[in-house]
Amino acid sequence: MTENLKFNEATPLRPEGPHTLDAPLVPIDLPAFLAQIKQEATWHNSDRNAITVFKTNGLRIVLVALHAGTKIKEHRAEGIISVQVLEGMIQFNANDQDINLARGQMLALQKGISHSVLAKEESVFLLTLTTTLEK
């Protein structure tokens, strides 16, 4: 059956074990992944946690959780990104412009633009990134 074919797995270090990252059809249960990352030691011992929920040549989707006050320092993405807030509020800065995003809001950013993120409160967002994997 095609739907069971998987091309790669997540790190086995996660308590729930490996999950499918790339296959012809990949169901993504965001509430389950969110519950998982908020139960992991990394969430309790640091300012953030994240899990890649889909990864293939051309596209990556990452669920990111940040504690209030956490800042992701300025950096550039090699691909186009979108950021969709699922919980909380973040301040996204790009080109010296601050944009506050709350639950249900999102933005898109062209590749190569420097940006940073500040969690105004405990927040969760879905990061989608166009990318090319090494062969």
pLDDT tens-digit series, residues 111-132: 999 999 999 999 999 999 998 7
Q: Is the pLDDT of residue 4 over 60?
A: no
Burial label for 51, CB within 10 Å (0-12, 13-18, 19+), is buried
- Structural domains in the chain, sorted by start: 2-129 (2.60.120.10)
Write out the H or E segment, with its range, that includes residue 120: none
Mean pLDDT of 33-48: 96
List, for residues 49-100, the tens digit of each pLDDT value: 999 999 999 999 999 999 999 999 999 999 999 999 999 999 999 999 999 9
pLDDT score of 121: 98
Beta strands in the chain (DSSP E): 8-9, 20-22, 48-56, 59-66, 71-75, 81-87, 89-94, 97-102, 106-109, 115-119, 123-129
How much of the chain exceeds pLDDT 70, in percent? 84
Tell me which amino acid residue 129 is.
L
The pTM for the full model equals: 0.86
Q: CB atoms < 10 A from the CB of 106, how many?
A: 14
